[in-house]
Amino acid sequence: MGSQKRIAKELTELTESPPAGIMVELADEANLYEWKVHMEGPEKSPFHNGKFLVKLSLPTEYPFKPPTVSFATKIYHPNVTNDDKGSMCLGMLRADEWKPSSKISAVLQFARQLLAEPMPDDAVEGRIAEQYKNDRARYEEVAREWTRKHAC
């Protein structure tokens, strides 16, 4: 149960000194492995002023297996699936790229950074990625609209 110790440690660190725009809590006080993260859309992105609920679930093998990140709030973004799961594709969370030394704090900051700078080459929503590359103005308009509708 080394994982619980480390998770508890990271949780206290994150609640005591949360990174900018990120607030974490446990979804269920009795379960360390399911986290609820309140993420504010980064400034200078179309998600600014939006408040997104992100679910982070940790495997029991953590830190040897990567956590998974999914958006409970709908978001118009090339790297987040546009279904009811809202799973986010993060490079550092892929099984072959994950390192046990990566911290949850870093994962969350990276996820927030991805909101500001999507990676269309790594996209899960091909259509949105296409639009992001070819028609940036329209992409930002739709993303802002969705943020207003779902995340305010």
152 is catalytic: no
Shortest separation between residue 11's beta carbon and another protein, angstroms = 11
Cα 28 to its chain centre, rounded Å, is 19
- Subset of 101-120 contacting another protein (CB under 8 A): 101
**Among positions 15, 34, 64, 126, the unique one binding another protein when judged by CB under 8 A:** 64
Residue 10 within binding range of another protein, rule CB under 8 A: yes
Nearer to another protein, 2 or 20 (CB): 2
String of b and e for 44-81 (b: at least 16 CB within 10 Å)?
ebbbeebbbebbbebeeebbeebbbbbbebbbbbbbbb
Element (H, E) at 31: strand 31-40
Shortest separation between residue 108's beta carbon and another protein, angstroms = 16
